[in-house]
Amino acid sequence: MPEASSSCPPDRRPDRRPDRQTVPTAACAGLPPKAVFSKKVKEAAPVLRACTRCAVRRDCERIVAPADNGFDGVCGGRLYRSGRPVEIPAHLLPALPGTHAPRGGSLA
């Protein structure tokens, strides 16, 4: 089986390994690592948009567990810095038809 893309947030917990079927199906699989692991909202915007249509978003949060390991980057539709969700100003969130952007850095 081919290796998973290096752009998806990797499993940072030694007791958990990503399901080999989950990582390649993530919407962020083809996006640049610089955007996936960015601490900056504008750089992470393409990844945040990808999360809105990702079928494995909940698995991503479970596998990466950002708060448990001080994760920096996008995981599960949120931007994290040192494992804490970043508040994203509403004007920087991607507009989704018929929805309102939630507060707290999430597109979930």
pLDDT in tens, the chain (108 residues): 444 445 566 555 444 444 444 567 889 988 999 999 999 998 999 999 999 899 999 899 898 999 999 999 999 999 999 999 998 887 766 554 334 444 455 554
Does any domain span residue 66? Answer: yes
Quote the domain boundaries for residue 62.
33-108
Does any domain span residue 72? Answer: yes
Does any domain span residue 54? Answer: yes
pTM for this one?
Answer: 0.67
Does any domain span residue 88? Answer: yes
Instruction: Give the start-end residues of each E strand in the chain.
Output: 73-75, 78-81, 84-85
> Dihedral (C-alpha) 65, 61, 32, 28: value to the nearest 10 degrees?
160
Domain total in the chain: 1
